[in-house]
Amino acid sequence: MKILRRSKRFAADEDGAVTVDWVVLTAGACALSVATMLGMKGSMNSVGDAVKRYLDTRTVPETIQAP
């Protein structure tokens, strides 16, 4: 009967439950972040390439005159 009593007490004990909730919530947020980054990977590469092409065609003046 001692084991049964301890089992009931263990099942009713809620210490650490908040920690488990936060761990699960944090894991979900991390997984969502990774999924978002993977989903945007292709489009971000094309945006970066477009910016690079634009900047490659521009020239920077040798001296900049103050207004």
Average pLDDT per consecutive 10 residues, the chain (67 residues; last block may be shorter) = 83 78 95 90 79 89 72
Q: Is the pTM of this model over 0.85?
A: no
The residue behind tokens 């488990």 is: 20
Confidence at residue 18, expressed as pLDDT on a 0 to 100 scale: 80
| Token couple for 36 | 């978002």
Confidence at residue 54, expressed as pLDDT on a 0 to 100 scale: 93
Confidence at residue 28, expressed as pLDDT on a 0 to 100 scale: 97
Confidence at residue 67, expressed as pLDDT on a 0 to 100 scale: 66
Confidence at residue 39, expressed as pLDDT on a 0 to 100 scale: 83
